[in-house]
Amino acid sequence: MKKGIRFIAFILILIMTVMGTYQVLSWKDTSGDYLSSTQQLYATEDNLMDVIFVGSSHVYCGINPSYLWDEYGISAFDMSVSGQDKDSSYHTIKEVLKTQSPQVVCVDLYGLLYERHSVLGNEYRNMLSMKTSANSIELVQNYVDEKKGQMDYILRWPIIHTRYKELTEYDFIQYEPSIYGRGYNPNYSLGVSYYPQGALECAESEPLSEDNKEWLDKLILLSEEEDFKLVMFLTPMYLEPAQQKILNGAYEYLSEYGVETLDFNMLSEQVGLDYNADFCDSHHLNRVGSDKLTAYFGEYLVSHNQLTDHRGDEAYYLWDECSKWLEHLDFAHELKQETDWKAFSEMAADYNEDMTIILYLDGTYKESTLGLQEVQEIFGIPESEYDIGGKWIFKNGECVYYMDPGEGNVYGMDLSDANVLWMENDPGKLSQVQINGEPMGCAFNGLTIVVYDNITHQVVDKRGFY
């Protein structure tokens, strides 16, 4: 009897250990930096998503669900994965339909232009992100030719077991944007793109390949079986005429079945795109360009469908949280562009909700020609404290701690489950303020400001002025 109990206990402990280890080593992103649209899908309650956008990085860079939420109350979601191929997009839609009943599913046509992943990491993102099920196994069997390769993806352990070399804190704790994010991954960089003149002048079409025809047929059939409206679209990007021929053939084929198509290369003027300002590279929109595209798409959606405005409905709180997260990302980008100390300080002080600001005056700060005394008014620092210097912590606009410059003073506080702030008085050292052991000091004899975001759990910026 006792041996049986011990054996059962051993098996239970073994199962829990294996499950825990798998959770740590498992693949956790679909677009980089632990951001996962599949985790976001699984974190969403059933039957809340009315519009789904499916595709590759062109989708998560180009379509901003928060814009649709803020403007129209549309509960949209980017079910997009880097390099998403045709097989993956089809099975991704099937995964969504397990828990959601979207009215409209908009699918990126870029998958027509390639067959295989060119980046191994993108193959992992598409094959390893979904929960193991008949659907995920069927995806592997459809995409991976070799039997051994199929088993590696189905079992997953042969692929993920080496990840121990690259583990970070977010392999042990949940990355929160992968809960409340809605699939969008904004890119704030400015790159060069080119107007696809040659492609747009191409009126020829090419017959669909068997693979492309099969993919479109499966999508059309799925839309009929699951009763959602299918829309096929192409985000703005540079294309060659040969690629446009393939798309033209698809447009002709889809029109025969009454499927609506939107080619945003052809609609770029109506969208108002600036090829010198709205792209991060020749194939992807940046943050500014994505709002322009989404604005046009939003008008199209509300004029062609009866979509409910869900704003104010508590069940849709994840869309509210995502909008707040995006506001913080926008603020971080704007703050990083500011070079003037006073303007930087005012921006940090004014945008104080869900922010922790660490400020300290060190050394001969009073001799600075910048007029640092104005920091008193900006942050509400008493003159008596400014006169002797020290360190201040502001949280949500309120000063929660002040450390005078006396020798030996130390202080620590948790900023999040994974981030710890440590302060000490040690004149002349840049390590007087640390977050997770990383020095935050920027000025020996002047003003240092560290801005930490309580939503993203990241240091937005740290600056020294002297």
Task: List strands edge to edge, sheet with 446-453.
Answer: 398-403, 390-395, 355-362, 446-453, 458-465
Q: What are the tens digits of pLDDT across the range 19-46? A: 778 778 788 899 988 999 999 999 999 9
Alpha-carbon distance of 42 to 57, in angstroms, equals 20
β-pairing verdict for 279-281 and 433-435:
unpaired
- Quick one: which of 354, 362, 357 has its CA closest to 346? 357
Count CB neighbours of 408 within 10 A.
7
* pTM of full prediction above 0.85: yes
* Beta-ladder partners of 453: 355, 458
Phi first, then psi: give them for residue 357, nearest 5 degrees.
-115, 125
Cα 187 → chain centroid:
9
CATH T-level fold of 29-328: Rossmann fold (3.40.50)
Q: What are the tens digits of pLDDT across the range 149-171? A: 899 999 998 998 888 888 888 88
> What letter would DSSP give residue 315?
G
What is the chain's pLDDT, residue by residue, as a tens digit (466 residues)?
Answer: 667 777 777 777 767 777 778 778 788 899 988 999 999 999 999 999 999 999 999 999 999 999 999 999 999 999 999 999 999 999 999 999 999 999 999 999 999 999 888 899 999 999 999 999 999 999 999 999 887 789 999 999 899 888 888 888 888 889 999 999 999 999 999 998 999 999 999 999 999 999 999 999 999 999 999 999 999 999 999 999 999 999 999 999 999 999 999 999 999 999 999 999 999 999 999 999 999 999 999 999 999 999 999 999 999 999 999 999 999 999 999 999 999 999 999 999 999 889 999 999 988 999 999 999 999 999 999 999 999 999 999 999 999 999 998 877 899 999 998 899 999 987 767 678 999 999 998 787 899 999 999 999 999 999 999 8
Cα 301 → chain centroid:
23
Domain ranges of the chain: 29-328, 339-465
CA neighbours within 13 Å on the CB side: how many for 76?
Answer: 29
β-pairing verdict for 284-285 and 279-281:
antiparallel
Alpha-carbon distance of 298 to 75, in angstroms, equals 11
